[in-house]
């Protein structure tokens, strides 16, 4: 089967986390975006959280300018709030991924409840789409959530791979993998573009990358951690190599 090119979106949030630990300008996520571009990233992902714990409004301003110079798309991860909608409509990034956000969580802990949130998600999807932003909804690998995503007009879903990545090797991980594989096939069958991400590392990326209907992976925390040992460029290149190998791309 011919596989579509699998894009790698590099999430640079945790470059900002390290910077913010000291409050100064170093390390700069914009420099990380330059390195990611050199290393072959297909896009940069950044999550502007309500509490601004990592990426700041200034980062988004600088990233938007730099990425348009580099010709690299920005994928803005955002909660479906009025404040974030205003930011997204001001910048009009190439893509926006709508995520649930709870103040107390350490990271995005689960996918969106599209059924429960339908009434406030649908207008956000509509306004972003009208502004030319390609909207994805971050959801659990559950066909019901995918059907609802389609029903409210989202062209793309991003499947949450966290439970798969956290599971120990064995039956639990196998079950989580089957859920992702099934959801990715379902997405394609109903005409949704399918992305995946959260928690992926060198030991978990290959099986996910081999799923042919997934066309984009968004990966951050592992790459920034690995960069401490080998550098960001080398970490991204190795991730890209594993993705290509799984996809039989050169």
Residue 234 contacts residue 194 (beta carbons within 8 Å):
no
- 66-105 binders of ligand PXP (CB under 6 A): 77, 97, 99
160 among known catalytic residues: no
Going from the C-alpha of 128 to that of each of 30, 33, 96, 101, 156, the distances in angstroms are: 24, 24, 8, 18, 13
> Is residue 3 annotated as a catalytic residue, yes or no?
no
The DSSP 8-state label assigned to residue 196 in this structure reads E
Catalytic (active site) residue 54? no
Q: Does 108 bind ligand PXP (CB under 6 A)?
A: yes
The stretch near ligand PXP (CB under 6 A) out of 61-69, 194-202, 204-212, 232-240 is 194-202
Work out which of 199, 233, 238, 245 binds ligand PXP, going by CB under 6 A: 199
Bridge partners of residue 98, in order along the sequence: 78, 137
Stretch that binds ligand PXP, among 54-62, 84-92, 193-201, 236-244 (CB under 6 A): 193-201
Residue 188, SS3? helix
Contacts (Cβ under 8 Å, ≥6 apart) of 171: none
The answer to whether residues 211 and 230 touch, using CB atoms and an 8 Å cutoff, is: no
User: For residue 127, which phi and psi values (nearest 5 degrees)?
Assistant: -70, -40
Of the residues 19, 198, 240, 247, which one makes contact with ligand PXP according to CB under 6 A: 198
Question: Between 120 and 159, how does the x/- string for binding to ligand PXP read (CB under 6 A)?
Answer: ------------------x-------------------x-
- Nearer Cβ to ligand PXP, position 221 or 237? 221
Residue showing tokens 């090119």 = 5
| Calpha distance 154→128 (Å, rounded) | 10
CB of 52 to ligand PXP, least distance (A): 14
Q: Is 110 in the site for ligand PXP (CB under 6 A)?
A: no
User: Footprint of ligand PXP on this chain (CB under 6 A)?
Assistant: 11, 13, 47, 77, 97, 99, 107-108, 138, 158, 197-200, 218-222
């Amino acid at each position: 089967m011919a596989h579509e090119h699998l894009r790698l979106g590099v999430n640079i949030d945790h470059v900002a986390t390290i910077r913010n630990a000291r409050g100064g300008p170093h390390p700069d996520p914009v420099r990380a975006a330059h390195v990611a571009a050199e290393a072959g990233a297909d896009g940069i992902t950044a999550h502007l959280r309500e509490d601004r714990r990592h990426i700041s409004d200034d980062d988004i301003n600088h990233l938007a300018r730099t990425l348009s110079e580099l010709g690299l798309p920005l994928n803005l991860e955002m909660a479906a709030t009025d404040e974030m909608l205003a930011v997204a409509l001001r910048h009009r990034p190439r893509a926006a991924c709508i995520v649930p956000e709870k103040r107390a969580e350490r990271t995005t802990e689960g996918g969106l409840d599209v059924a429960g949130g339908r009434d406030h998600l649908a207008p956000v999807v509509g306004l972003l789409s009208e502004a030319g932003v390609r909207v994805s909804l971050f959801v659990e690998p559950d066909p019901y959530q995918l059907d609802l995503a389609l029903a409210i007009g989202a062209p793309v879903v991003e499947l949450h791979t966290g439970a798969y990545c956290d599971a120990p090797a064995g039956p639990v991980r196998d079950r989580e993998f089957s859920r992702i594989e099934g959801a990715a096939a379902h997405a394609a069958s109903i005409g949704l573009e399918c992305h995946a991400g959260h928690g992926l590392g060198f030991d978990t990326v290959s099986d996910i990358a081999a799923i042919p209907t997934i066309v984009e992976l968004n990966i951050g925390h592992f790459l920034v951690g690995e960069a401490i040992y080998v550098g960001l460029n080398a970490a991204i290149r190795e991730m890209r190599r594993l993705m290509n190998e799984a996809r039989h791309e050169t």
